[in-house]
Amino acid sequence: MPVLAQQPARPSPTPTPPNEEQEPVKIFTEEVRLPVIALNQYGHYDPSLEVDDILVLEDGVAQQIRSVRHLPANVLLVLDMGGELSGMGGMSKLTGLTRAVAIEVLNRLQEGTQVAVIQFGNSVELIQPWTQDKEAARQKLKTKLLAAKRSRFSDAAAEATRHLSDRPEGTRHVVFITDGVDTPGGKIDREEAIKRLAAVRATVHIISYTEFVRQKKSDRRAGVSGGQMPPASDPITATDPTLPPGTTRSPTFGVSIRFDPAMRRRRKAYEVDLKKSQQVLTTIAEETGGRIFLPKSSEQMIAHARDAAREIGAEYVVTYRPKRPLSEAPRGEYRRVEVASRRVGLSLRSRRGYVVPSEPNE
């Protein structure tokens, strides 16, 4: 992408003190830094990727690749701590499980990875600034996560954009652990937040709660409970004078049904929101070259944490100079990108496109 370099405005006759500010000269250079995930035939990181292994098409035109590098990643964990008491009639997102999944991702990241952590509920909070110290981040995950009633997903997506913008392009990753459902009343609407997230050109991975919540609902049958009824609840036993007090001939079983119209409406609305959210989350992941994981159990949540970390570790940065100059494009223009493998057994995945920045220095 276009980059600004800073140079002194004019030669100085005497050495410039290191702490003295200098006037910058803007030098416009053109380079697209494209994150590409490379996996071998076994689904593992391919350490042997070369320029000749990759075909990059921009708007259908083959590009000349200048370099392929495997660089340390910058990974922002964004954790949804809101809405535990959901309209599903019970716990939907579990604080302890979210913590365990985040720690599993952290543990599996390669050494040298820069990590930061955001949690969101009633508000959005950065609980761990950028660091390579995994133990420091792990302690924050163990001690700083707090459950909340509300969920500000869109606000969190916008905040993630701000924290990623100063990271080297091509190495930016976001891992969301969320159901993606927004509580009304946030500072930014979802559409605008998604646009900002796409514009920062990060690879987005999502470990989604959407199927997990649906599975819990089908397992639990919210609002219906069954089991052995106490003797006092049995009208026959309660009035049988031939039995000692508190005894019965055989256990009596029954089912009690609770009707709560307000709760039913909330559950129905939440189910609709879940369906819409999963569609949005899937689009975000696929557009940015990441993946959405849809676990149905706690065990699958943890397993997909390992999968997400493996995807991040398998990413290269591919650079090329667009044949159609960026300086001649209308600002904000979208360019479609396709990546294909030239080598048998090699699987490549990248973002579907990028937006030409509005300013040369973006």
Q: pLDDT tens digits, residue range 28-43? A: 468 999 999 999 999 8
Please report, as a single letter, which amino acid is at residue 268. Answer: K
User: What pLDDT is recorded for position 213?
Assistant: 85
Measured N-to-C along each axis, helices 298-313 and 95-108 cross at an angle, to the nearest 10 degrees, of 30
User: What pLDDT is recorded for position 214?
Assistant: 82
**CA distance linking residue 200 with residue 193, whole number of Å:** 11
Burial of residue 184 (number of CB atoms within 10 Å: 0-12, 13-18, 19+): exposed
**CA distance linking residue 228 with residue 110, whole number of Å:** 53
- For the chain, how far is it from start to end, CA to CA, in angstroms? 8
Inform me whether the pLDDT recorded for 24 exceeds 80. Answer: no
**CA distance linking residue 214 with residue 222, whole number of Å:** 11
Average pLDDT over residues 171-192: 94
Give the Cα-Cα-Cα angle 130, 300, 138 (nearest 5 degrees): 25
Distances (CA, A) of 183 to 88, 158, 261, 274, 332: 15, 15, 21, 12, 30
- Going from the N-terminus, what domains does the chain have, and what CATH number goes with each? 3-8+24-70+316-355 (no CATH), 74-217+260-315 (3.40.50.410)
Contact 142, 43 (CB under 8 A): no
User: What pLDDT is recorded for position 247?
Assistant: 53
